[in-house]
Structure 1
Amino acid sequence: MEADAAPSRSIATPLRAAWTAGRHALARAARLALDIALPTLCVSCREPVDGEGVCAACWARLSFIERPYCPRLGIPFVYDPGPDMLSMEAIASPPAYQRARAAVRYDDVARTLVHALKYQDRTDLAPAMGRWMARAGGELLAGADMLIPVPLHWRRAWRRRYNQSGALARSIERQSGVKVRGELLRRVRATEQQIGLSRAQRATNVQGAFQVSPDRQAEVQGRRIVLIDDVLTSGATLDACARALLRAKAAQVDVLVFARVVEVR
């Protein structure tokens, strides 16, 4: 019986290997056919693009924020006012967070990228956007203990199915090695959309909306934290998050976003 069984096993092994190889070949062929039939399009202008989701022309239209900028808020200066010179915004209304940095200005292409990531399930954009953020926030990440994405309320997270800030944070984690700790900060109160609200209304809208649970405060205490979000407009949401973390005895809170609104003067 054993002599009869051996040939069948010897035949079955190469047949199984051949079937597996054939299945993988068919899968590769199917992916290739799909790529040919449905090429990746630039999220901004809809021209075919290879990989990143933004074509070369639209990439060139992104307004990356470079020095000189306010060392506190990261607002770009038109000219170099000298070292350690703060912007008027930082002097008039300093936020709870220590420093803020953004990769790009919130212009037309940046807005399209943010909206695609946030509302159109384009999580494939997060790796490229996260790389640009990691470059812009290198000095913040160098001394950070953890990354915390701005949390969604559970009802909004259920409707949207994912947190765009969390997707960006995970990309930055891969670039920097700084761990994401999204469970430490919670949005305990549902808030209205900030769009269309004044600066004062935005601050009121998010007041008391964020909290570090008492049983997690020891994990925050004494830590240097970088908050991650997609856009910085008035800064009210990020300021409310920073205040919640500082109440939990965080040593320092910085902010890193993909895009920030820059007022034209």
Structure 2
Amino acid sequence: MRALFPPRCIACGEAVGSEFGLCASCWSQTDFARGTVCDACGTPLPGQAEGERILCDDCLIHPRPWTQGRTVMHYSGTGRDLVLALKHGDRLDLVPPLADWLASAASPLLSPDMLIAPIPLHRLRLLKRRFNQAAELSRALARRGGLDHCADLFLRARPTASQKGKSREERLANLDGAIRINPRHSGRLAGRALLIVDDVMTSGATLCAATDAALEAGATRVCIVTLARVAKPP
């Protein structure tokens, strides 16, 4: 069967040596967040951390409400292609390999009683897309870590305009009061750590809004993990 149906690169479809892998060309065009990274967003940084907490310029200028954050890769090249394929191309077959990458990136953040939840979509956008890509990733990540998962912990209280092309200030204003804790699950956060999962972080406005809501609901510690980070490479 392997001879008839050889493994294919998850990005371009070329034959590869193992399931759910990337070919050499796509791998070379993927900027994975490895080595020294920002402790708040996961952006790769030059130099050695030597055990101390270091932050990228963006996270220094705009302090984050969450405790720690990681990302899998930079939002460019193959990384961008994979995110868009999952988000807009109905490529649910990408969830298993991408969740494996997320699990690796998130491993320093996880704790035994941690709750995992995705950034929500408004119901109108969910109806249009048919699935929430962040929820698919967070569910698979929780399963890999044997952790509690709540797909609808957060609610979009109102629809928001696309964040694309907006300044940081406009993004924050656009999300003001838009994300809240689902009343049905408000008791699940008290005294617990939370990991929020999203596909892409740009300014961090959406993750900030969700973190603020979680802390108000009693979360003791909030961490974030994203599939990709929009930032300048080191």
The alignment's TM-score, normalised by the length of structure 1, stands at: 0.79
SS at 1:102 equivalent: strand
d(CA) in 1 for partners of 2:125 and 2:184?
24
Equivalence for 2:46: 78
Equivalence for 2:12: 45
Where structure 1 has 5 or more consecutive residues not aligned to the other structure, the ranges are 1-31
Matching residue's letter, 1:234: S
Evaluate the alpha carbon distance shift between residue 111 and residue 212 of structure 1 in structure 2; reply closer, same or farther with a 3 A threshold. Answer: same
Alignment root-mean-square deviation, CA: 2.2
**Greater RCO (Cα-Cα under 8 Å, separation 6 or more):** 2
Query: Any idea what SS the aligned residue of 1:140 has?
Result: coil
Matched position secondary structure for 2:148: coil
Of 123, 129, 134 in structure 2, the residue corresponding to residue 165 of structure 1 is: 134
Match of residue 201 from structure 1: 170
Q: Deviations over 1:92-119 (max 9, x none)?
A: 2111111110011111101100011011
Give the deviation of 1:203 after TM superposition: 1.0
After the TM superposition, which residues 1-265 of structure 1 pair with which residues of structure 2 at under 5 Å, given as runs? 42-49=9-16, 51-52=19-20, 54-80=22-48, 82=50, 83-143=52-112, 145-264=114-233
Amino acid at match of 1:113: L
The structure where helix makes up a greater share of residues is 1
1:59 Cα offset (Å): 2.5
> Which AA in structure 2 matches 1:193?
S
The superposition leaves residues 67-104 of structure 1 with CA deviations (integer Å, 9 ceiling, x where unpaired) of 21222332221122542233333332111111110011
Q: Where does the alignment leave 5 or more consecutive residues of structure 2 unmatched? A: none
**Match for 1:230: what amino acid?**
D
Amino acid corresponding to residue 47 of structure 1 in structure 2:
E
Judged with a 3 Å threshold, the aligned counterparts in structure 2 of structure 1 residues 254 and 138 are, in CA distance, closer, same or farther, namely: same
Of 212-221 and 197-206, more deviation after overlay is shown by 212-221
Report if the CA contact (8 A) 1:143-1:224 is conserved. Answer: no
Q: Is the 8 A contact 1:48 1:55 kept in 2?
A: yes
Question: Structure 1 residues 184, 114: CA separation in 2 closer, same or farther (over 3 Å shift)?
Answer: same
Structure 2 length-normalised TM: 0.89
- Bigger CA radius of gyration: 1
AA partner of residue 181 (structure 1): C
Indicate conservation of the 8 Å contact 1:98/1:252, yes or no.
Answer: yes
Asked if the contact 2:40–2:64 (Cα under 8 Å) also holds between the matched residues in 1, the reply is: no
Query: What number of residue pairs does the alignment pair up?
Result: 231
